[in-house]
Structure 1
Amino acid sequence: MAKQKGLSVFVSDTGVIAAGYKHLLTTHGIPFEEEGHTEAKIVSAREVVKSPGIPNDVAIIGQLLQHNVPIIDEIEFAARYAKGKIIAITGSNGKSTTVHLTYHLLKRAGFHVALAGNMGHSFAKCMAENIYDYYVLELSSFQLEGIKNFKADIACLLNITPDHLNRYNHAIAAYTKAKLNILRNMCRSDHFIYNNDDAIINQQLNQLAISPARYPISILTGAQPPPVIYSSNGAFHFRFNQRSFSINHHLTHLPGPHNQYNTMAAIAIATLTGVSLDIIAAALPTFHGLPHRMEWCGAPQNIDCYNDSKATNVAAAQVALLSFNRPITWIIGGKDKGNDYTILLPIVKKSVKAIICLGENNTTIIKAFYSLGFPIQETDNMGSAVDIALSMALPGEVILLSPACTSFDLFENFEDRGNQFREKIKLCIAQSKK
């Protein structure tokens, strides 16, 4: 996009640039280097667009700061050229589902809308390829750190739970500050949707002067007055812009209380952009969620199997466990991020009948749940994990892959982990039919 806008561009990477990206750079006449930075060349730049995954404490960032070179994020850069409305969605968990459901509702309404951000689709690349009326962006805390003039027309904050704290000196306040940067530059004509049941969000909002109109969401009962957006008696209720309406829960296929927040946020965004209630009601049943996020994979032996491989932290696993009122055989484990599993003890004691640890080192997990007294087994193979789970679970129960850990000890990524689970379930179903 920068090249398209007539800017002089140079790409520098400490790693090896993938062949496909090299071809793209060469095709567009963009010079690049890999496996190291040429410091003198980089610090002579007028501006640096930093990949959000690069920590702020690496040497080259320090050199840029010493030379007073402005450092921004790709989201900030692309937003300079955006002519359409920007819908920005963040949160520790639920971002991808909410972003995709929002996009689905707007697309079904016939809007010219793009999906970009923290899910593999660059905002800048999207801008370079087409001009849209609406941009639905999933934004991570890393991406929000580097914004200065970026402004959302509609912002949504789903939740804040401890995650990526190694990036923020293990301080939840610093992580929260990055998330709340989504409100930066918003004005009174803009809209802010947020989780009213999240204690961290409410604590921080009470300390801020917020310009955009607020739309709090709640699923807790008995709140007086009821929040603007809330869930009760089997329906989602909305009261804003001199308008009230309700939508039945049965119109959505997304399970669990966490998906009630996600669904209400997406419906609110669609309504604020002008999507009619009839279109929303028709579109909701056609959205079946995303792969690796509470994805139903089948029911071998009449046991429902769910792939929640994207649950790479404790909070994500917690909402998955809370989604069922049937006994769960839980597949957990992977590369630990310093997780505190003790917060899961009450729900695990109530809902889990057995644990299969799937990781290279399961010591922390076993120590956390050993006192509960139910079966805990270990394996380093997905096929074995599913076989063990099927030997423990009974018809009508649930097998849940919700690892609470990253996947990089045994798998390429969370997609690989989830795909292996799904394929094993398919194989088990096929074998049962022979």
Structure 2
Amino acid sequence: MALEDLHNLNFYIAGAGISGIAIAKLLKKNNINVFLIEDKIISESTKKQLQELNISFEDSFQDTTKLIKNCHILIISPGILLSNPLILACKSNNIPVISEIEAASWFISKECNILGITGTNGKSTTTNYLSQLLQKKFKPIACGNIGLSLSEAILNNSNTDTYVIELSSYQLETTLTLNPICSIFLNIQNDHLQRYETIYEYLKAKWRLVLLTSDNGFVIIEKTVLKLALFYGLSLPKAKIIVIDEEKNQNFDKNKLNINYSRFYSSKILPISIYKELKNLDIYSLLLPDQYFTVYSKYCDNNSSQIEYYFENQKISWSIKKACLPGKHNMYNILAASLCAFFLGLSENDIVKQWEESLTNYQHLPHRLEKINANFSFYNDENNNSKNLLIINDSKATNVESTLVALKSFNSPIRLLIGGEPKGDSYLPLTEFLGNNVVKIYPFGQAASKIVSELKDYKKYIANTSDKLIIAANLALKEALDEEIILLSPACSSFDEFKNFEQRGNFFRNWALSHLRG
């Protein structure tokens, strides 16, 4: 949208959170009419901030008549459901409803690179890793769902030439014109099903990023995600598709296929007769030979990786002896980020150097498999017993799938702290680790009784429930033995006890540091 067209419009912003206030500031700075609304009571400190910025606002707002009469475009915070009465009123009166990401993107210079990252798990890690890797060639900033809003990034970082944007499905639902040169779709798991009735609806929201990608750009996507998208008949992008696969088919030659692609690529939607057969077809037979190429990855148990692909008729191989981030899931995260960096012009040497643990200068993301101390260290429990332990803060793991990923990352015995506010996930998948690398589970918070109930057949691996995280943590520390890991990977949201996962993670880190033997 041309910025000069905005000055005669009234923008209403629903939600007085971080992104709502940031986009209000960005619009106000550009002399655009802004009115902020909130259905709850706005805190006094936030009111004061808005008054100082000369931004008009109204809290406890429910007046659809006033909204329809005065609003030309409604910007919504990601937590607001599309079934909200205010949004439904706007849609029925042809008032556009957009995200903060969408509105902020109008103010990004055309010379800047836009990189979008989505998926169920690993978004923040990949965003953080890619932004640091790109510092070797660009002036990137990590923003979006990672914590720093896109609006705030634009306001305060005038030297930025690359925006690495983490995008949730909530944000993508109402993002319309964002045009990334590269999009990364990491994975898809059952999550947020309190908002989406089916995984199809969830996938469709995230798939918007793929279709928004610039026609001359590229989409990096894991094979199982692409297969699911094709199975549901979702449209394909015009951008180049880079498929990450771990199964190399030595006999497959994409240049020897005899498929009439024109019958479905004119519309970019596969006909029903094609995608109904997908369970029995190799997805590569459904892609145009010149539209994609495959990157093959092999993960080894010692945290090494072998990567192989062909680019412009040249075979490229990356061999990683020991990765700076543990686990197979992180191989995919780093690989996706590295491929994006490679196609933006970074050298193979810089990419491999950042990946290797012994050579990297990568700064780990807080609250995601964050080692409280670099290695095993001595901690004193409440009885002043000293134990050689590794304590890990994985507070960002707010669903069971994320916790499973964490458990797959370590071989040492684990005492697992899980709990908080349940999200509806089943905890039964955790049982495959009980008696293997998980010594005991320590349930806490609102979810504790549900965890115990679901895992009732594994009582010997379940500690007494705790009302609070600190009680569970103290119990785990008391019972821990040398060379064990105490892992906070809650598999739940934090809202029963904490404001967000960051506050929970900071609390846990401070608890661990208070027991670190000086």
Give the alignment's TM-score, normalised by structure 1. 0.91
Instruction: Tell me, yes or no, if structure 1 residue 293 matches structure 2 residue 368.
Output: yes
1:256–1:323 contact (8 Å) kept in structure 2: yes
Matched ranges for 1:13-28 at <5 A: 13-19=38-44, 21-28=46-53
Q: Does 1:90 align with 2:118?
A: yes
Aligned to 1:337: 423
Q: CA deviation at 1:140?
A: 0.3
Q: 2:73 aligns with which of 32, 47, 54?
A: 47
Do the aligned partners of residues 412 and 47 (structure 1) sit closer, same or farther apart at CA in structure 2, a change above 3 Å counting?
A: closer
CA offsets 1:366-400 (integer angstroms, 9 cap, x no match): 12222124232211233332232133332222221
User: What are the within-5 Å matches in structure 2 for residues 163-202 of structure 1?
Assistant: 163-168=191-196, 170-196=197-223, 198=224, 200-202=225-227
CA RMSD of aligned residues (A): 2.2
Could you give the per-residue CA deviations for residues 23-65 of structure 1, whole angstroms, max 9, x where no partner exists? 4433332211122244333222111111111111111112112
Moved beyond 6 Å, runs of 4+? none
Shift of 1:252: 3.3
Quote how far apart the aligned CAs of 1:85 are. Answer: 1.6
Confirm whether residue 413 of structure 1 aligns to residue 440 of structure 2: no
User: 1:277 matched to which residue of 2?
Assistant: 348
**Secondary structure of 2:434's partner?**
helix
The match for 1:347 among 408, 433, 444 is 433
- Note if contact 1:152-1:183 (Cα within 8 Å) is conserved in structure 2: no
For the pair 1:64 / 2:151, whether they are aligned, the reply is no
Other-structure match for 1:381: 468
Distance verdict in 2 for CA 1:248–1:297, change over 3 Å: farther
Structure 2 CA distance for aligned equivalents of residues 17 and 247 of structure 1: 52
Contact 2:395 2:505 in 1 (8 A): yes
Look up the match of 1:302: 388
| Aligned 8 A contact 1:382 1:420 in 2 | no
Asked whether the equivalents of residues 159 and 201 of structure 1 are also in contact (C-alpha less than 8 Å), the reply is no
SS of match in other structure, 2:436: helix
The partner residue of 1:35 within 34, 41, 60 is 60
Secondary structure class of the residue paired with 2:487: strand
- 2:305 is aligned to 235
Contact 2:211/2:237, CA 8 A, preserved across alignment: no
Aligned counterparts of 1:262 and 1:18: Cα–Cα separation in 2: 38
SS at match of 2:372: strand
* Aligned residue pair count: 426
Any unmatched runs of 5+ in structure 2? 1-25, 253-292, 380-386
Aligned 8 A contact 1:114 1:134 in 2: yes
CA shift, 1:356, in A, is 0.6
Q: Determine the C-alpha separation between the residues in 2 that align with 1:393 and 1:278.
A: 42
Question: Residues of 2 paired with 1:19 and 1:280: CA distance?
Answer: 47
In 1: Cα distance, 2:50 partner to 2:504 partner: 31
Q: Post-superposition shift, 1:71? A: 0.6
1:114 has 2:189 as partner: no
Structure 1 residue 187: deviation in Å? Answer: 4.3
CA-CA distance at 1:232 after TM superposition: 4.2
TM-score, normalization: structure 2? 0.77
Decide which moves more: 34-43 or 286-295.
34-43
Give unpaired runs (5+ residues) of structure 1.
none
Pairwise mapping of residues 123-142 of structure 1 onto structure 2 (< 5 A)? 123-129=150-156, 130=158, 132-142=160-170
Larger-Rg structure = 2
% of aligned pairs identical?
A: 33
CA distance in 1, matches of 2:113, 2:454: 46
CA distance in 2 between partners of 1:232 and 1:163 (Å)? 26
Contact preservation (8 Å) 2:434, 2:461: no
CA distance in 2, matches of 1:79, 1:131: 16
Answer whether contact 1:216 1:228 (CA < 8 A) is retained: yes
| 1:316-345 CA-partner distances (Å, limit 9, x unpaired) | 001011112222111111111111122332
Show the 5 A alignment for 1:260-271.
Answer: 260-271=331-342
* 2:326 counterpart residue number: 255
* Residue identity matched to 2:400: V
Q: Kindly report which structure 2 residues correspond to 1:3-14, keeping only aligned pairs within 5 A, or say none.
A: 3-14=28-39
Q: For 1:229 and 1:289, how far apart are their aligned partners in 2?
A: 26
Point out which structure has higher relative CO (alpha carbons under 8 A, 6+ apart): 1
More off after superposition, 317-326 vs 95-104: 317-326
C-alpha displacement at 1:125, in angstroms?
Answer: 2.8
Task: Answer yes or no: is the 8 Å Cα contact 2:422–2:446 preserved in 1.
Answer: no
